Amino acid sequence: RLRERGTETEEKICGRMAVARRELGRAFRYDYVVLNDEVSEAVKRIHTIIDAEKMRYCRMENMIQEVLDEC
C-alpha cells in the first residue's frame, strides 16, 4: 500500500516496515490489537473496545451490588 501511494522513498518504507515488525512482535503483550489499515474502520474498532471496557465486571461491580442490595 505504501509503495502504491508513491509518497515515500524505498528507504523510508523499509524503515516503517521494520518498526511494524517490531510492534507486531510485541502484540502478545496487549489485550487488543487494532490495525490501522483503514482509518474509519480502526476508529470503529477502538470505539468497540472502549464500549467493551466499560462493561468489564470490575467496572460494574458497584452497580451490581447496588442492584442486589435493592432486591
Spatial CA neighbour of 49 closest among 62, 67, 31, 63 = 31
Please state, for a pLDDT cut of 90, what percent of the chain lies above it. 73
Task: Please say if the pLDDT value at position 59 is more than 80.
Answer: yes
Domain limits for position 59: 2-70
Alpha helices in 1-71 (DSSP H): 2-5, 10-25, 39-54, 57-70
Number of domains in the chain: 1
Question: pTM here?
Answer: 0.65
Task: Please say if the pLDDT value at position 23 is more than 80.
Answer: yes
Say if residues 33 and 27 touch (Cβ distance below 8 Å). Answer: yes
Report how far residue 63's alpha carbon sits from residue 9's, in angstroms, rounded to the nearest whole number: 54
